[in-house]
Structure 1
Amino acid sequence: MPAIVTPDLCDAYPEVAVLEPMFVNFGGHEAFFGPVRTVKCFEDNSLVRQTVNEPGDGAVLVVDAGGSTRCAMLGDRLAEQAAGNGWAGVVMYGCVRDVDELAETELGIQALAAHPRKSEKHGEGQRDIPVSFGGATIEPGQWLYADNNGILIADDRLVLD
């Protein structure tokens, strides 16, 4: 994956949306990008599990977990499945766990925080819908760019000369 630097992208594309600075890098890839796919769920990671078990084809899974800090929605096993299925990354508006293992996983992961408790599993949630958090609405098919400087959302793939 080519190196990306979000400040350079912001300079070249001032119209991009920038998520509020609330996310922390947890994955083995500190910079990642790809077309967006979405899941919306609250304290139930059933759809996250289902989605990361499908081919990612270089996409970024954006999970609107309602900003919950009461349980983790992604751990080492699901992250390994995502990496193995070709996902570029996961942005979790919620928590993750198994952070030492996540740091060794070949996947970009940004989330609000770490939490040791696992989520419920009742099969609840929605997929492939617009989600809103961090001051932006993120739609499937948009492009997400993330690194240690922040997270950008663009309508199309961005190119630096």
Structure 2
Amino acid sequence: MTEQQANLAALEALSCTDLSDAMDRLGIPSQCSGIMPMAHGHRLVGQAWTLRYGPIGQDGGTVGDYIDDLGPRQIVVLDNQGRTDVTVWGDLLTYTAHLRNVGGTVIDGVCRDVDRALELDYPIFSRGNWMRTGKDRVRVEAIQVPVSIGGIRVEPGDWLRGDSDGLVVVPAGRAREVIEVAREVATAEEHIRKAIADGRSLRQARDDWGYHTLQTRIGQEVDG
């Protein structure tokens, strides 16, 4: 198994909350504010392929015919500067991405043709949906560059994990470190649940497994 495959499998097994807590502990900004799945239960995990949009100028708009270049499990990451007045993702992109086994789409902005995404069970994480096209209203500024999604920097190749609680970004160079700490968080919470099921109080179970310091930034822990 390659490192990429190992990271993918590990991240699939962890929740956004596990990863969010781990990155809080490591001091890594990770939680994309306001970016949520189009459907409850949609999940995504993969590495980022990024594109940044901007407003049109005198030379008109472009939306980009990029989807044919993406491969399986890559995540399309579109920075439309949080705009909710125009879409940058719709039916044809969803259909093509689905056929190419793309891992999902993330938009700091909105999408449209949601029914197609739901029909195909294709995961889209965005600020919502609206029908107004971005054609002749936005232009492609740059491809495969650092972008901003929900206030979080995303670089090409960074890992993204999305579920019903939202979206987190795991820097590619720190993936193994984040996964290790997230597993510690997940394990502690599983032990707490088991202790409660066995009759222990929540207060005691939390104390026994160090619940109150699970998210505390490393180096700032205090005793008791």
What's the TM-score once normalised by structure 1's chain length?
0.83
Are 1:66 and 2:81 counterparts? Answer: yes
**Within 1, Cα distance between the matches of 2:96 and 2:35?**
22
Q: Secondary structure at the match of 2:83?
A: coil
Shift, 1:123, TM fit: 6.0
Structure 1 residue 142 and structure 2 residue 190: aligned? Answer: no
Deviations 1:113-149 (A, max 9, x none): 2111111158632100001242221100111111111
- Report the Cα distance in structure 2 between the residues aligned to 1:87 and 1:139, rounded to whole angstroms: 18
Residue pair 2:63, 2:88 contacting (<8 A) in 1 also: no
Query: Structure 1, residues 4-51: CA drift from partner, whole Å, max 9, x if none?
Result: 41112234443343234312312696111101110001365622xx22
Q: Deviations over 1:45-95 (max 9, x none)?
A: 622xx2222232211111001111111111122111111112101101111
- Unpaired stretches in structure 2, ≥5 consecutive residues: 1-8, 56-60, 184-224
Q: Residue type matched to 1:17 in 2?
A: P
Aligned partner letter, 1:59: Q
Instruction: Report if aligned partners of 1:71, 1:115 keep a CA contact under 8 Å in 2.
Output: yes
For residue 81 of structure 2, what is the amino acid of its counterpart?
G
Q: Which residue of 2 aligns with 1:46?
A: 63
Larger Rg: 2
Higher normalized contact order (CA 8 Å, seq sep 6+, divided by chain length): 1
Show the counterpart of 1:111: 126
Kindly indicate whether residue 43 of structure 2 is the aligned counterpart of residue 5 of structure 1.
Answer: no
User: By how many angstroms is 1:3 displaced?
Assistant: 5.0
Structure 1 residue 92 and structure 2 residue 104: aligned? no
Paired residue total: 159
- The whole-number CA distance in structure 2 between the counterparts of 1:118 and 1:28 is 25
Does the CA-based 8 Å contact 2:89-2:112 persist in structure 1?
yes
- Alignment-derived partner of residue 202 in structure 2: none
SS for the counterpart of 2:73 is coil
Corresponding residue to 1:19 among 14, 23, 31: 31
SS in 2 for 1:103: helix
Change (3 A) 1:45 1:148: farther
In 2: Cα distance, 1:3 partner to 1:76 partner:
30
Q: Deviation at 1:104?
A: 1.9
Partner of 2:117: 102
Which amino acid letter does the alignment assign opposite residue 132 of structure 2?
Answer: R
What is the alpha-carbon distance in structure 2 between the residues aligned to residue 138 and residue 39 of structure 1? 10
Structure with the largest fraction of strand: 1
SS of match in other structure, 1:120: coil
